[in-house]
Amino acid sequence: MRTTRTKRAVLAVAAATAVLTVTGALISSPPANAADSAGTADTAGTAGTASAEVSPHAAQTIDDIGASGAWWVNDLQHFDPKVQARVAKLLFSKQGLDLSSYRYNIGGGGVAVTTPARAAEDFTGPDGTYDWSKDKGGRTFLEYAAKYGVEDLIGFVNSAPAEWTTNGQSCGGQLKTANETDYAKYVADVTDHFARQGVRLDYISPFNEPDNDFGSCGQEGMQVTVDQRDDIVRALGAEQRARHQGTGIIADESSSTVQFTTEVPQWLSQPDTAQYVSKLAHHTYNNPGDGQLGNVYETARTAGKTSWASEICCFGKGSTGWNQEYDPTIDNALLMSRIVYKDFASSHDSAFQWWVALASGYGSDPNARNDEGWNDGLIYYDPDYATNGNQTLYFTKRYYALGQYSKFVKPGSVAHNVTGAPDGVEVSAYDLPQARTDSPGGTPTGKWVVVVNNHNTVDTPLSLHFNGKTPVRAREAVRTSATEDWADVARPTVSSGTASATLAARSVTTYVFDQKGHGSSAVTGSLVGRQSGKCLTAGASGAAIATCTGTDQSWSYDAKGTLKGANGYLTASGSGLTTTADYTGDAGQRWLLNANGQILSEASGKCLDVSGQATSDGGKVILYSCNGGANEAWTRQ
């Protein structure tokens, strides 16, 4: 388990509701708004009080939350240095987003790219030497990120230098096989150069959205076929190892989770490849449902790797699917927050990285929703800055929504699933062990960070019970809504391990609690298949559904992630599902209970599934790739 890392050297910069007693639900139905819409169709009347449970079992450790420096840095290099410094502070300081990762675009030279800002300079010269004075804008903000202490600095490549592509361009081609070693040496040289400047790249992504050749040439990009991805990873990994570089490799950054889950196993399984891969990264432009997000977890578990959600943008018009729109309001911010929530709670990614931190495509009005712009940035600037001199920064609610996570959910935070949230509400909880001390030399204490999205159009009461480490007091409550930006608001009340609060309509709120205890409690209850209405029963011969009688059908879920029933521990093995009398610590005895009703095996990442969608007593329960079906959703009776 990863512990909170020490930040890099830091740059000094001037600069009326009822409360319901928790019933101890083991798992609940997903909220009624589980589709991708986040409009105003959610609960619009009087919201009823509901309770939620923080799982006693840790799901995954968070690596980082960040954004990309692609494109906009090429414009911002022409801005007043004071504006550049302000942007850096807005992104990297504790007063700003306090991002824990930053993606630096290693340019490919921009040959044939028609959009100047998307034609990033590379460092190669015509005589084979390097010109390290190139890419001024990119270097400026990478250096700012390092000086502010951003924990994970990531170099990523859209296109190799044009001299090594099949068409001699920075778009529409592929890396020539004969130049794979040259390319690996170039990336390693760039890494070494920045390290000498005091900027250590923690990770390198050698290709980005390899399924697309970007042949329209509106930006840099190169196609990398499935059978070439392992060759590039091995070439770069071997070069890094020979130089004793500590930079990890992330791949393959497919555009969609479907491509990720189908193509990663093909190239990662090639001999001597997996050893060089530190993280598996995917984008979510296919607007994945719960089943597809579950497949991401399965792919990562099968590979024995951690998954990252490393790029998303450009959704809107009430949907998390791709749409052209510019919307600076809380409506689009809530859509973003829903995506963050699902990446952490359903695919159990360990990082969330937004696409571009800044953008210029605000369309007809930087302050109002319109159909001419794009929801790709957090902060916007005037695309005509060069002619009109306007260097004003325009903020969106997405900026503040991301900060509800990035300012509080820091590297080393341990995610815990939350079940039983009210309709229209999404809750994620993070345990930060030994987060602070009350006095110099005092004993470190932990804290809980809870981020809550309320999509409802009315204030909604929430009662949240913590199973394990007990919240002893609420230290902070920060909210972004239609009228608020990181506003300090009323803190929840805390009693007997339960926090109670009222969520403002259409808002994202972050609560911080001091905690005590060691996470030893468990929750119990019967597991009822939503599609069948029957209870999960299991024994040495397998698992099945049966009419709920309350006899020998109760399951206890504990901090180790085990499900213990009357006949022992539910265990996944090569032969299927069984129960075993003793706990061995094997991953086959550990389970994740997702808020959407899925129960995932930590050994395989597969879902607990009623085979054939059976509804009769004796219907077999198996492990199956998650598909989002009702026969894979379980509730507590």
Residues 81, 98 share a domain:
yes
* pLDDT the model gives residue 128: 84
Q: What mean pLDDT value characterizes the chain?
A: 91
Q: How far apart are CA 609 and CA 589, in angstroms?
A: 16
Residues 229, 80 share a domain:
yes
Q: How does pLDDT run across 383-425, given as a tens digit for each residue? A: 999 999 999 999 999 999 999 999 999 999 999 999 999 999 9
Residue 591 φ then ψ, to 5°:
-135, 150
Residues 444, 402 share a domain:
no
**Residue 400 placed within a domain:** yes
Place of tokens 């250590």: 200
Residues 332, 212 share a domain:
yes
DSSP string, 51-90: EEEEEEEEEEE--EEEEE-TTHHHHHTTS-HHHHHHHHHH
Count of beta carbons in the 10 Å neighbourhood of residue 287: 17
Residues 573, 505 share a domain:
no
Q: How far apart are CA 299 and CA 288, in angstroms?
A: 15
**Residue 32 placed within a domain:** no
Does residue 172 surpass a pLDDT of 60? yes
Give mean pLDDT, residues 303-313.
Answer: 98
Q: How does pLDDT run across 472-514, given as a tens digit for each residue? A: 999 999 999 999 999 999 999 999 999 999 999 999 999 999 9
* pLDDT the model gives residue 7: 53
Does residue 11 surpass a pLDDT of 80? no
**Residue 139 placed within a domain:** yes
Q: Of 501, 516, 531, which closes a domain?
A: 516
Q: How does pLDDT run across 260-289, given as a tens digit for each residue? A: 999 999 999 999 999 999 999 999 999 999
Residues 510, 566 share a domain:
no
**Residue 21 placed within a domain:** no
**Residue 19 placed within a domain:** no
pLDDT > 70 fraction of the chain, expressed in percent and rounded: 90
List the CATH number of the domain containing 121: 3.20.20.80
Residues 242, 99 share a domain:
yes
* pLDDT the model gives residue 49: 55
* pLDDT the model gives residue 1: 34
Count of beta carbons in the 10 Å neighbourhood of residue 82: 9
Question: What's 157-181 look like in SS3?
Answer: ECCCCHHHECCCCCEEEEECHHHHH
Residues 373, 292 share a domain:
yes
* pLDDT the model gives residue 314: 98
Q: In whole angstroms, how far apart are CA 316 and each of 325, 346, 509, 600?
A: 6, 21, 21, 30
**Residue 199 placed within a domain:** yes
pTM, entire model: 0.93
CA-closest candidate to residue 347, choices 413, 281, 411: 281
**Residue 364 placed within a domain:** yes
Under 8 Å between Cβ of 632 and 597: yes
Under 8 Å between Cβ of 89 and 96: yes
Q: Of 362, 379, 406, which closes a domain?
A: 406
Q: How does pLDDT run across 420-442, given as a tens digit for each residue? A: 999 999 999 999 976 544 445 55
Under 8 Å between Cβ of 104 and 163: no
Q: How far apart are CA 614 and CA 631, in angstroms?
A: 8
**H runs (alpha helix) in 311-359:** 330-345
List the CATH number of the domain containing 467: 2.60.40.1180
- Does the CA dihedral 36-431-348-532 come out positive or negative? negative
Q: Of 406, 428, 449, which closes a domain?
A: 406
Residues 208, 115 share a domain:
yes
Residues 228, 135 share a domain:
yes
**Residue 29 placed within a domain:** no
Under 8 Å between Cβ of 540 and 579: yes
How many structural domains does the chain have? Answer: 3
Q: How confident is the model at residue 38 (pLDDT cuts 50, 70, 90)?
A: very low
Does residue 166 surpass a pLDDT of 80? yes
Of 8-12, 328-332, 456-460, 621-625, which gets the smallest average pLDDT? 8-12
Residues 210, 72 share a domain:
yes
Residues 195, 298 share a domain:
yes
**What is the residue range of 175's domain?**
64-406
Under 8 Å between Cβ of 430 and 449: yes
* pLDDT the model gives residue 575: 72
Q: How far apart are CA 27 and CA 29, in angstroms?
A: 7
Question: What's 92-132 look like in SS3?
Answer: HCCCCCCCCEEEEEECCCCCCCCCHHHCCCCCECCCCCECC
List the CATH number of the domain containing 590: 2.80.10.50
